Structure 1
Amino acid sequence: MARVVARQDLRAPAVFVLETLAVAACYYAGGRLGLLRELHIDGAVVSPIWLPTGVAVACLLIFGLRCWVGIALGALLVLLHLTSLRPSSLGVLVGSTAAPVCGCLLLRGVGFRTDLTRVRDCLHLVFLGAFAAMLISSAIGAGLLVATGDLPARDVWRVGLAWWVGDAMGVLLVAPLLLLLYRVRAPVRWSRWREAVGLAVIAGCLVPLATYSRASLLFVIYPLLIWAALRFQLGGSMVCALFASVMATVAATDHVGPFEHLTEVEVLVNLHAFNGALALTALLLSAVITEQRNTRRSVERACQELVEVLEHLTAGEAAARPSRDEGGRPRNTD
């Protein structure tokens, strides 16, 4: 028994270290991907979709608050990649760590369920995990830029807004997919794989055309999103939304298609409006469909149980009813 306890005591720190390194690596990888596309707002560089915030919130919800160490380490690695460490970097590091932790605490406080099968869970993720919590990192980051003299005070609201929306988009587009992937168990049975392939092919052709066309065809993506939500629920709708958002971000940062003749601020507003509408539609529509299907299954199950109870009652009454002869008189069974 002593050996077993000793092995468990040694295993716990090893698991924590590996988990911390894995979270830091995922955070850093998301940061490198997010930095591939940038927008310049009043001299500040912002990412339209900051993927690490989604990674951080998902890891905290799955593994617990102990993941904050990995998040802080990943944020430190991203800062080292961007610039040399300065006193202001500590504030950015604190904000990048505190925002997802506060989002996780807010979601836990309202009884958030990671399966996202209820509309209330999707609304909580949007307004608490994304919009409310990410105000912390954006406010600290923009405030430090003003305090260090790197940003004029009159431009703080635009940079802060761009920072906030980029962080929120990372939560809305990445966190649901990671939560879904964590719940997937092998073997995966796809009864609609032909339809899934067809949807992927159509999306692969239509989404680049819509995002790179000058004719403002971004609205044609929504029927694909509705199709994915109706047939494949959260997984299909979020994959479709993420792909469309990435393609729109590439077009916006390249200033092509519907973003060709727009200023940086106009590009940012149009891009975030499109990405936000996609994420909200995918989350809420898939949750409504899943909730309705679960309700229908519960009603069908209750009806089936009621039928079985009625059958048992009918059988019991028939067995207890005395048999009668041809004249209708009860027979003596003695």
Structure 2
Amino acid sequence: ALIALGNTLEALAGVWLLQRNSQFDVNLHALRDYTSLIFWGGCVAGLVGAAVGPAVLLVAGIFTPDIYPLQTLHWWMGDVLGVVLVAPLLLVWHQFPADRLDYKRLPEIVLLFGLAFLAGNILFMGWLADSFGLYAQHFWMFLFVAWAAVRFGAHGVLLLLALIASQALFGAYRHTGLFADDLLRTQLVNFWLYIVTLSVVGMMLASYIRAETLSKQAIGKQEAFFHLISDNIDDFITVLDLQGRQIYSCPAYNKLFGQDSSPDKLDCFAEIYADDRERVRAVFNEVVKTGIGQRIEFRFVLPDGSLREMESRCGVIRDAEGEILEVVVVSHDISKRKQVEMEIRNLAFYDTLTQLPNRRLLEDRLSQAMLASKRNGSFGAVLFLDLNNFKPLNDTYGHGMGDALLVELAQRLSHCVRKVDTVARYGGDEFVAVLSELGEKRVNAAQEALGIAEKMQAALAVIYTLQYTNDEGEKVAVAHHCGASIGCILFTGREASQELLLKWADMAMYHAKKNGGQKICFPENCEDVTQSGQFSVPVFH
């Protein structure tokens, strides 16, 4: 009863020790699970049974105290061997390996265990000693254990170990084979070490192969998942080496650039618009250097010469040591988004009819011109234009004809100014031009502003040939004459606010219109405008 109690306590101690490890898997899928079972459930827990069993037998007088240490060692070795052979066999085989032991593999199973049984009898039972005696060595069984580990996993290894241990133990009992005199010489210590070593090596190999197989399966699933995404996604996925050459490109990318063949080692920067290429290359080099992903917008040049606006995000692939191996780039076509943004910007800052800047953008351009004038001391000017003879066209032929006139008129005005200047539609038939960088002398600035204003009047005075559709559906050409009254005010950054400049230019325009139209009017100076509102044409006009 006491021995049974000791054995029970040993089993409970083993279970308690193993349960303390939350990562322990009773299916022994990993090598650490097997080694934990052997160490905690066998070596450590076996001390409990080895302490109780021999002590009970010693008290009962079964053996003398002088052999108590050896009996304790044998008891512990027996318990450990039981855990090494029997416990894993029960834990692993409670799940039948249908995938490894199907009927198609039955011939291989029979061959493995048949040869192992024959080899075991030769090694441990003394079979064919005259023929194989010189070659019957312990290491032959490692061949069969390795075979079982590779082809049948832990299930095959444990079943084969049970067969080998049974044959070796039976041979030692009959005093035949390799362990014939082991009982007398080492008290079966050699047998114990051999079986434990064979078990650990076999399970180690089986666990490693299982881990490799699971890893390959996981990688295969990831690759299949990746290809499923890359083959069906609208975005463009490319993998580059550290020199920027393509290693992989998804089907969408190949379709975009017409690359039916493998894109291996193609220079991806060659497909980028020339103005963006160096900027993209610099971002790529920064990613390779730091390993930190980046986002960038650029333009692709397609084979037909057209451009695509792209937004790309890139990251790195590292090896197990953290070294950067490759760069993954996921690009998204943002051409439509850019087009929408441009349309929104046009609606916000440009007149929808003439495509000239509207009041909001005019205020921004005037503010910039005033800041530039304040910074460099040069003069600027504001020209305020009001069309003459526009209302009769609208009243006679309708707003469609009026709109057509405004579109052509806007084009003519745009051709009259410099690149640094701005022409904006102020509202209705009123336009404003902001002139910058007219020089540091007021007289010279006024002369240049007057020259541009006269150029505008001359351009607007050319007859407009417009077409409209009459009630019969016929297109009728209409010739129309339209001019403009222009008010002009010079400024430097120190003189006035935007509101005041526009007010002065507006007052100058009305003064020109009041005096017969088709005039260009300058105030004498700012003080005259603010105090008396009197205007006069400068001497050079």
Greater percentage in helix: 1
Percent sequence identity over aligned pairs: 24
Larger Rg: 2
Give, in whole Å, the separation in 2 of the partners of 1:227 and 1:244: 14
Count of aligned positions: 244
2:141 is aligned with 1:221:
yes
| Partner of residue 8, structure 2 | 97
| Residue type at the aligned position of 1:113 | D
| Partner of residue 242, structure 1 | 162
TM-score, length basis structure 2: 0.41
Query: What is the deviation of 1:212?
Result: 2.3
Aligned positions of 1:125-274 closer than 5 A = 125-184=37-96, 189-213=102-126, 215=133, 217-264=137-184, 266-274=186-194
| Partner of residue 116, structure 1 | 28
Give, in whole Å, the separation in 1 of the partners of 2:183 and 2:87: 30
> Given that residues 103 and 129 in structure 1 are in contact (C-alpha distance below 8 angstroms), is that contact kept between their aligned partners in structure 2?
yes
Query: What is the deviation of 1:184?
Result: 1.8
- One of 285, 296, 311 as aligned partner of 2:205: 285
CA-to-partner distance for each residue in 1:37-93, whole Å, 9 max, x for gaps? xxxxxxxxxxxxxxxxxxxxxxxxxxxxxxxxxxxxxxxxxxxxxxxxxxxxx3211
Query: What is the deviation of 1:141?
Result: 0.6
Query: What is the deviation of 1:328?
Result: 4.5
Which runs of 5 or more structure 2 residues have no equivalent in the other structure? 238-251, 257-301, 309-335, 337-541
Pick closer, same or farther for the CA change 1:281–1:316 going to 2, 3 Å: closer
> Given that residues 259 and 267 in structure 1 are in contact (C-alpha distance below 8 angstroms), is that contact kept between their aligned partners in structure 2?
no
Which structure 1 residue ranges, 4+ long, deviate > 4 Å from structure 2? 185-188, 315-319, 326-330
Query: What is the deviation of 1:244?
Result: 0.6
Give, in whole Å, the separation in 1 of the partners of 2:140 and 2:97: 34
> Given that residues 148 and 160 in structure 2 are in contact (C-alpha distance below 8 angstroms), is that contact kept between their aligned partners in structure 1?
yes
Give, in whole Å, the separation in 2 of the partners of 1:238 and 1:185: 13
Query: What is the deviation of 1:329?
Result: 8.6
> Given that residues 237 and 283 in structure 1 are in contact (C-alpha distance below 8 angstroms), is that contact kept between their aligned partners in structure 2?
yes
| Residue type at the aligned position of 2:137 | L
Give, in whole Å, the separation in 2 of the partners of 1:158 and 1:128: 22
Query: What is the deviation of 1:312?
Result: 3.3
Pick closer, same or farther for the CA change 1:150–1:314 going to 2, 3 Å: same
TM-score, length basis structure 1: 0.65
> Could you say what secondary structure the match of 1:218 adopts?
coil
Give, in whole Å, the separation in 2 of the partners of 1:103 and 1:207: 32
Give, in whole Å, the separation in 2 of the partners of 1:309 and 1:122: 39
Alpha-carbon RMSD across the aligned residues, in angstroms, is 3.2
Aligned positions of 1:42-121 closer than 5 A = 90-111=1-22, 112-121=24-33
> Could you say what secondary structure the match of 2:139 adopts?
helix
> Given that residues 95 and 140 in structure 1 are in contact (C-alpha distance below 8 angstroms), is that contact kept between their aligned partners in structure 2?
yes
> Could you say what secondary structure the match of 2:29 adopts?
coil
Pick closer, same or farther for the CA change 1:310–1:258 going to 2, 3 Å: same
Give, in whole Å, the separation in 2 of the partners of 1:184 and 1:190: 14
Give, in whole Å, the separation in 1 of the partners of 2:79 and 2:53: 12
Pick closer, same or farther for the CA change 1:262–1:313 going to 2, 3 Å: closer
| Residue type at the aligned position of 1:296 | K
> Given that residues 208 and 247 in structure 1 are in contact (C-alpha distance below 8 angstroms), is that contact kept between their aligned partners in structure 2?
yes
> Given that residues 172 and 182 in structure 2 are in contact (C-alpha distance below 8 angstroms), is that contact kept between their aligned partners in structure 1?
no
> Could you say what secondary structure the match of 1:157 adopts?
helix
Which runs of 5 or more structure 1 residues have no equivalent in the other structure? 1-89
Deviates more, 1:116-125 or 1:280-289: 280-289
Query: What is the deviation of 1:218?
Result: 2.4
> Given that residues 13 and 45 in structure 2 are in contact (C-alpha distance below 8 angstroms), is that contact kept between their aligned partners in structure 1?
yes
> Given that residues 182 and 188 in structure 2 are in contact (C-alpha distance below 8 angstroms), is that contact kept between their aligned partners in structure 1?
no
CA-to-partner distance for each residue in 1:215-271, whole Å, 9 max, x for gaps? 452221111111111111101111111101000000111112223345535241121
